[in-house]
Amino acid sequence: MQRSTISLIAEQLIAENWVLEGPTGRLPRGRRPTFLRLNDERVIIGVDIRPVQTTVALADANGKFISQESMVTSSDPKIAVKGLIECIERMKRLCGGKMIEGIGISLPGRFDHSTDRLVFAPNLAWRNVDLRNPIVKETGLEVELENAANACVLAAVWFDRMEECPNLVVVTVSEGIGTGILANGKLVRGVHGMAGEFGHVPLDSNGPACGCGGRGCWEVFASNRAALRYYMESGSDSGGLDFQDLLSRAERGDTRAAKALETMAQYLGRGMRMIVAGLAPECIVVVGDLTRCWHRFGGVIEAEVQAQVLPGGCAPRLIPAYEDGMARLRGTVALVLQKHFSS
């Protein structure tokens, strides 16, 4: 950009109070430059709704988290929304005089922007739910909603400086598998916001039943739940075990736990071949608890992807993202920021 263009943009952001002027610097000659910084008196409330747990957090415009609270996600959306509003009100009281820019919500399913409804969330029993209006009405704040994987794409672009990577896919691996697609620098949503459902492409039509109504989808072989199933099938005692426990057991030398996670990782890589063949991204960002053991399983995923790269193509860079919950929360902050800055 031209210097004059940058000055114009900066002036506008200063006028809007998004950016503050700091001290002046020194140069050997010419005008002394003024340092600029984002105004951290402007805050954002981020909500990460997941099938089991919902997290509400308060962050400043730099994506730094100030406060955080978690609750169980109710299977009844009305109860869930009520609890959410109460929690948001508590966060508002924590803000003091800070200005709240809005609420960003990440969803474990697809959000249809044309009808303003959560349309496809196979791991959450909410159907055709309007989340925006009750929250706007009660809190008086603007609300931005987006699929979790899409929110993570925005987080990668906003906070991880991935803008030099215009073809990027985020794969979120938790109860299910979601993908968010950045193609030619643009987020791909598709009709009804349904783009990116690679997790529900069947790899084996005789495979286990899936929450979407189909069988043998990629996610029933490569999600956290799949790893727990592999572990159970190996005859190990898995009563009350969750995915974090499974990771800990693998780290402590439980070979069956390690094998279960390795199988999951193999399927993750195998499924990613669809993404590589279809979209040829420069990088795939993996979001999920599995990344905590990336040193053990990252290579397994990579080997599977590389085992079948088409002639002329090249394997994408695989990048483990921040801790699962953190990536999604940063996505909710990016959701609100991009609305203000995208123009």
Q: Which of 47, 212, 275, 287 binds Zn ion (CB under 5 A)?
A: 212
**Listed ranges 6-14, 206-214, 248-256, 266-274: which one lies at the site for Zn ion (CB under 5 A):** 206-214
Cα separations in angstroms, 101 against 5, 53, 165, 226, 326: 26, 24, 28, 39, 20
Binding segment for Zn ion (CB under 5 A), chosen from 53-61, 151-159, 202-210, 268-276, is 202-210
Told to check if 270 binds Zn ion by CB under 5 A, we report: no
Query: How far apart, in Å, are the Cα atoms of 71 and each of 49, 80, 272, 280, 311?
Result: 10, 9, 32, 38, 49
Quote the least distance from Cβ 125 to Zn ion, whole Å: 15
Between 119 and 182, whose beta carbon lies closer to Zn ion?
119
Residues that contact Zn ion, how many (by CB under 5 A) = 5
- What DSSP string describes 121-154? -TTS---SB--HHHHHHHH---EEEEEHHHHHHH
When asked if residue 177 is in the footprint of Zn ion (CB under 5 A), the reply is no
Q: Which pair of tokens denotes residue 288?
A: 């999920």
What six digits make up the tokens of 287?
A: 């979001």
Spatial CA neighbour of 254 closest among 239, 267, 237: 237
Question: What residue spans of the chain are helical by DSSP H?
Answer: 3-15, 77-94, 132-139, 148-159, 218-222, 224-233, 243-251, 255-279, 294-306, 324-341
220 vs 265 by CB, closer to Zn ion? 220
**Residue 124 touches Zn ion, criterion: CB under 5 A:** no
The gap between the terminal CA atoms of the chain, to the nearest Å, is 16
Q: How far is the CB of 196 from Zn ion (least distance, A)?
A: 13
Could you say whether residue 210 binds Zn ion (CB under 5 A)?
yes
Interface with Zn ion by CB under 5 A: which range of 30-38, 108-116, 194-202, 245-253? 194-202
Which residue has 């039509």 as its token pair? 205
124 vs 143, beta carbon nearer Zn ion: 124
200 near Zn ion, rule: CB under 5 A: yes
Cβ-contact 285, 168 below 8 angstroms: yes
**157 near Zn ion, judged by CB under 5 A:** no
Residue closer to Zn ion (CB basis): 213 or 235: 213
Nearer to Zn ion, 33 or 208 (CB): 208
Write the CB contacts of 120 (distance below 8 Å, at least 6 apart in sequence).
109, 110, 194, 197, 212
Stretch that binds Zn ion, among 105-113, 207-215, 302-310, 328-336 (CB under 5 A): 207-215
Select from 142, 214, 274, 338 the one that contacts Zn ion (CB under 5 A): 214
Give the binding site for Zn ion (CB under 5 A).
200, 210, 212, 214, 217
